[in-house]
């Protein structure tokens, strides 16, 4: 499909609280050249900066990042600040907190509620901002999260955070969070081939007016180390019928799941960026959407 003149506006808009974003956004994790926490080969700095600037030129106004997105020489937050500061007025930067550090400086999967203020302040410092537009609490496991959400709600009341979201959660954890504070988005792993309960959760978020922001919608389940999904016959056939790439079909299918669904594909490749943004204009038929819903990765 032609992509040169297509912008992120083609995917439509959604409101994260009082912040309007195009539904096709950008995930910053891949800018470091590796997955979160990975100390592998860093990406090309100038190329990553160029990708970020091009994303904004293409109408992307929702960027997902975290202080723990880094490689041996690259920090996603630092790249965003270097590329885009002073930030456009309509740019919404969503960050994640939750993973913490042990006393020796290593990573722990779950911070204490008291540690979250330090994580928010670290994101503020790295991004050069006096407040964060949206902070997603990345949960670890299926346990209670109310105390963590309450700690972030206190930071919202203090003016350091504008809106709250949750990530890697189950429906009961979202329900728990909502008893503490308003939640504007859920960020979970999701894509073609997800189990029925995941589809139900996406629909439930829509009914509550909560954005659903899937990660690994292109790469597939369990692909945190950067591998891409193996494309099945259904994905390939539909891609061929539309003159699109399999990745574009996966993104288009995700966006077709409902107006509350936002996409945040990440890449350090400028050509892939243009293709990803163009996927926002790809319209699948209802029959194609249903065929792909149960297709495996």
Tokens 């308003």 correspond to 182
| Enclosing H/E stretch for 81 | helix 76-84
Residue 147 backbone phi and psi in degrees, to 5: -65, -40
> 11: burial class by Cβ within 10 Å (0-12, 13-18, 19+)?
buried
Strands 92-97 and 100-101: unpaired
Beta strands in 121-272 (DSSP E): 132-138, 161-167, 185-187, 211-212
Alpha carbons 133 and 137: distance in angstroms, whole number: 13
Which residues in 140-178 are b (16+ Cβ under 10 Å) and which e?
Answer: beeeebeebbebbbebbeeebbbbbbbbbbbeebbebbe
> 227: burial class by Cβ within 10 Å (0-12, 13-18, 19+)?
exposed
Alpha carbons 122 and 97: distance in angstroms, whole number: 10
SS3 at position 143: coil
Tokens 């009341």 correspond to 157
- Active-site residue (options: 69, 85, 87, 140): 69
Strand partners, 63: 26, 93
Catalytic annotation present for 85: no
**Active centre residues (catalytic):** 69
């Amino acid at each position: 499909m032609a992509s040169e003149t297509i912008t992120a506006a083609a995917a439509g808009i959604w409101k994260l609280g009082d912040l309007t974003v195009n539904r096709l956004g950008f995930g910053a994790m891949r800018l470091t050249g590796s997955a979160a926490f990975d100390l592998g080969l860093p990406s090309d700095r100038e190329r990553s900066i160029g990708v970020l600037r091009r994303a904004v030129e293409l109408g992307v106004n929702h960027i997902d990042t975290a202080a723990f997105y880094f490689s041996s020489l690259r920090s996603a937050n630092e790249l965003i600040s270097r590329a885009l500061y002073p930030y456009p007025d309509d740019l919404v930067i969503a960050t994640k907190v939750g993973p913490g550090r042990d006393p020796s400086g290593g990573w722990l999967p779950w911070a204490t509620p008291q540690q979250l203020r330090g994580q928010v302040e670290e994101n503020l410092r790295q991004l050069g901002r006096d407040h964060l537009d949206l902070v997603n609490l990345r949960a670890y496991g299926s346990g209670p999260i109310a105390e963590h959400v309450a700690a972030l709600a206190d930071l919202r009341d203090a003016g350091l955070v504008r809106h709250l979201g949750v990530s890697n959660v189950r429906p009961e954890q979202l329900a728990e969070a909502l008893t503490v504070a308003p939640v504007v988005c859920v960020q979970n792993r999701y894509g073609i081939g997800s189990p029925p309960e995941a589809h139900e959760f996406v629909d439930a978020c829509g009914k509550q007016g909560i954005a659903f922001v899937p990660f690994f919608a292109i790469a597939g389940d369990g692909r945190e180390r950067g591998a891409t999904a193996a494309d099945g016959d259904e994905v390939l056939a539909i891609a061929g019928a539309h003159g699109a790439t399999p990745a574009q079909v996966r993104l288009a299918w995700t966006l077709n799941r409902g107006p509350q669904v936002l996409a945040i594909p990440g890449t350090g490749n400028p050509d892939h960026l243009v293709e990803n943004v163009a996927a926002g204009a790809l319209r699948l038929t209802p029959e194609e959407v249903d065929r792909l819903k149960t297709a495996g990765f």
